[in-house]
Structure 1
Amino acid sequence: MTNIAKTKAGWYSKFKAFGPGILMASAAIGGSHIVASTQAGALYGWQLAIIVILVNIFKYPFFRFGTQYTLERKKTLIEGYGEKGKIYLWVFFIMNIFSAIINIAAVGILTAAILANILKLTVLPSLTPAAMASMINMLTTIVLVGSLAMMIFGGYKLLDSSSKFIVVSLTVATVIAVVIAMFKHHPMAPNFVAPSPWKLKALPFIISLMGWMPAPIEISAINSMWTVEKQQEMKVPRKIAMLDFNVGYYVTTILAFVFLALGALIQYGTGTAIKGASAAYITQFIKMYSSVIGNWSGLLIAFIAFMCIFGTTITVVDGYSRANAECLRLIRKQKEVTTADFNIWMIVTVILAMIIVFFFAGNVAAMMNFAMIFSFVSAPVYSYLNFSLVKDNSKLPVWLWFLSVAGIVYLSGFTIFFLVYLSGILK
């Protein structure tokens, strides 16, 4: 075998060994990137880039612990919570049930909004906003039931293989759009005044931006379980498994900037009213691509975005259900989670998520904002759970220890500030 052939074989084996890190990226590249990051750029230009940098840096240790702890201890974070104390396990379990229902409902309704736009671009061009809102509820049911069926019949292998294609496709399309936009003139609106995000009224948007950036922290425990699943499928060396995690995390971080750039380069300052995280904004999102790549790309980008968010939906249906089933197993001291147990958790979680969706009556913006803000407010608890577990069982490098403490302070500080803001004390 030639050196070139050996190199190709080596890279192929590494890519084949990738899985949990790319799954995490698939779960992350959804509402936080397509909606929140793009809107941040469209509304405030590059001003919120610092927030994107900080939240990705300060959340890094808590996501890393999901992979690191599992590789070192040969057990999941959730098993670690149980060993540390029942109170830790119960806190995670109760919060994760709420996170599962809310986040699955949010990504399901966003997937349905993109699907409704695809239908409007193809077979239903005269679809009115009112009819679209009504259709979104029906499509959300189809999306969630479809995700459930795919997981029941396809399982982890389907999730593992499809996520790589979805992440790569959206990455390539978005990078192309941003590169073209950099060399294309977009005139500013006359008398445009740049809005400032550093005012109290912008705080809810900043909190929602950070809530799912790059993903809710509880995904780290889910990623821990995917790591175990991958190790059962094939023995992945620790070095490759950590590379998988880092590649996935770095990709989500870089893409957050790419999507922010998309909004900053194309929509910012043009005078176009930026819609909320709604079906109407999805239409704007698709038009951003077609305005720089060409009208022909609109349907293609809509399809790729749909596949990306649908991939996120499938991923979180699997992940949250897997985590909750494992929590209940440990509480009941069962030997293992059976396939039936896992399927029941998926079915019940999807049903509850659909009830939440119908409660919001197709209001994508309200559902998304609620889910993102809830994820941020709960982040300090999840981050402390991970840090307290790993620091007791591993000798952390000094830089990682300080970064973890700084991360908890950052997340807790913003959460307290936001709760004070909600109380009405700050005017």
Structure 2
Amino acid sequence: MSTASPNHGKLNWRIFGPGILLATGAVGGSHLISSTQAGAIYGWQLAVMIVLANFFKYPFFRFSTDYVYDTGESLIAGYARKSRVYLWLYTILLLASALISVGAVALLATVILGFMLPESLSLSMTTLSFIVMSVSWLFLVMGHYKVLDRFNKWIMAALIISTILAVFIAAGNPTEIATDFVAISPWNMASLGFIVALMGWMPAPLEFAAMTSMWTKEKVKTDHTTHRQGLIDFNAGYISSAILAILFLALGVFVQYGSGTEIQTQGGAYITQLMNMYTATIGDWSKYLVSFVAFMVMFGTIIACADGYGRSIAEGMRLINNNPNEASQKSIFWWTTFSALGGFILITFFKGQLGMMLQFAMISAFVLAPVYGWLNYSLVKSHKKLSTAMTVYSISGLIFLGAVALLFMAQLLGLLS
């Protein structure tokens, strides 16, 4: 699809948007929790799995940008063209994922906010989660895509700068290795579940590719960006997310690895432990720096997830109802509200199970990754000829994702010990 661009193909701040949204949506559970835990438990050993997950998922996320610029429609519309079975399955999975994902990341943001507040200001988790979710919801429904597009650039810029600063500070004063510390190897079947969860949301669930296509479609409509500009934006966001994953792994290594302290595995408990150990290692003054970094991570993830799920569900429902018109702002508003309100209800009544649900969501995201990957690959291939290099790259990615998913399923079914 050819679209005139007021930017005349130039590289400037305005062209960035969907790729940055993908990055901010990605850095919540996968980076702040899983990457940091990987560094805290296994040191640098799982850096290779983070790199491989980002590398082999790249073409299937990139296809979300290519497909919009080539056809003018979202990946979700492409799923509907391929088969209404794919459309129904994707939309049903989105409805469940929206509640779990938004609720889980909002709970983590609530824990961080509670950690930042002075002891004299004691508020319940329900109150704090209501504040976090309400601010995120108001931000989205009052500003819509344009405000989200502009604001998220500043979130990502602040996140990158503050994370780099935090890593340098931690590297200059790393935690002392305990005398009785024994390194743990992740290269065994017992650790496979952790590795699969780590890669499931690394850099994000592949369902986010369709969300990225929705943001890209909106970006083309509002700013008339070209395909080249769209790819620059996508690559900037994707590569930034991959680098941030390694930086958060480094934080876990420098602050917690080898300390002799048992690492908490539940998200909320781990957040508190991480920040307490950070301040113990560097000093009390760093409490607000690491809290700011963590909160920026989670706040950006909340607004990106709520908007992405809202837009994608609205698009899915439009196609299910055979509505030829674009999804209305009213429909996006209601489904964004569904994501935010549903997430808040989960926090309020099921906060004790959210950690388990988040782990399930991360693992299921990786198991489904080969399916979404194949679907995106087949869609793009059906309307244009891919280069030999991209074809080999994509097939290699499908083999890698499929092999690890099958290995995990075999272990889950008791076929491997």
Common fold by TM > 0.5: yes
* Per-residue CA distance 1:180-228 (angstroms, 9 max, x = gap): 3334353211121100111222122111111110011111111111111
Given residue 386 of structure 2, which amino acid in structure 1 is its aligned partner? L
Q: Deviations over 1:231-259 (max 9, x none)?
A: 11112122121011001000011111111
**Are positions 1:393 and 2:383 aligned together?**
yes
Return the match for 1:123 from 106, 119, 125: 119
What is the TM-score of this pair, normalised by structure 2? 0.92
Q: Which residue of 1 aligns with 2:129?
A: 140
CA contact (8 A) 1:377 1:415 kept: yes
Q: Which moved more, 1:354-363 or 1:206-215?
A: 354-363
Task: State which of 219, 236, 239 in structure 2 corresponds to 1:230.
Answer: 219
Aligned residues of 1:279 and 1:364 also touching (Cα < 8 A): no
Q: Is the 8 A contact 1:37 1:260 kept in 2?
A: yes
Structure 2 counterpart SS, 1:396: coil
Match of 2:233 among 224, 228, 244: 244
User: What is the SS of the residue equivalent to 1:190?
Assistant: coil
The 1:278–1:372 alpha-carbon spacing in structure 2 relative to 1, beyond 3 Å, is same
For residues 11-55 of structure 1, the C-alpha deviation after alignment (integer angstroms, 9 at most, x for no partner) is 996112111111111101111111110110010001111111111
Distance across 1 between alignment mates of 2:103 and 2:404: 25
CA–CA distance in 1 between the matches of 2:233 and 2:278?
29
**Is the counterpart of residue 344 in structure 1 residue 325 in structure 2?**
no
8 Å contact from structure 1 (residues 166, 304) kept in 2: no
Q: Secondary structure at the match of 1:347?
A: helix
Deviation at 1:177, TM superposition (A): 2.3
Cα pair 2:174 2:281 within 8 Å, conserved: no
Of 404-413 and 244-253, more deviation after overlay is shown by: 404-413
Question: Cα distance 1:410–1:13, how it changes in 2: closer, same or farther (>3 A)?
Answer: closer
Decide whether the 8 Å contact of 1:29 with 1:214 is kept in 2: yes
Distance of 2:139 and 2:159 partners within structure 1? 21
Q: Match for residue 16 of structure 1?
A: 14
Structure-2 change in CA distance of 1:403 and 1:288 (3 Å):
farther
Q: Residue 415 of structure 1 aligns with which residue?
A: 405
Count of aligned pairs: 410
Partner Cα separation in structure 2 for residue 95 and residue 70 of structure 1: 22
TM-score (normalizing by structure 1): 0.90
* Percent identity (aligned): 43
Post-superposition offset of 1:365: 3.0
Preserved CA contact (<8 Å) 1:267 1:288: yes
* Alpha-carbon spacing, 1:140–1:363, altered in 2? closer, same or farther (3 Å): farther
Superposed CA offset, 1:271-319 (max 9, x none): 1221123333212332455456642231233133212211111111111
Letter in 2 for 1:123: E
How many Å separate the matches in 2 of 1:266 and 1:401?
41
Aligned to 2:86: 88
Structure 1 residues 287-326: aligned runs within 5 Å: 287=276, 289-290=278-279, 294-326=283-315
> Which residue does 2:52 correspond to in 1?
54
What is the alpha-carbon distance in structure 2 between the residues aligned to residue 69 and residue 147 of structure 1? 30
Structure 2: tracts of 5 or more residues without a match: 1-6
Residue 319 of structure 2 corresponds to: 330
Amino acid paired to 1:426: L
CA RMSD in angstroms comes to: 2.3
Match of 2:37 in 1: 39
Distance 1:418 1:138, change over 3 A: farther
Q: Which runs of structure 2 are paired with 1:59-74 in the superposition (5 Å)? A: 59-74=57-72
Q: Structure 2 CA distance, aligned partners of 1:288 and 1:98?
A: 35
Please say which of residues 304-313 and 346-355 is displaced more in the overlay.
346-355
- Given that residues 136 and 362 in structure 1 are in contact (C-alpha distance below 8 angstroms), is that contact kept between their aligned partners in structure 2? no
| Kept in 1: contact 2:68–2:74 (CA 8 A) | yes
Q: Are 1:177 and 1:293, in contact at CA under 8 Å, matched by a contact in 2? A: no
Aligned to 1:176: 165
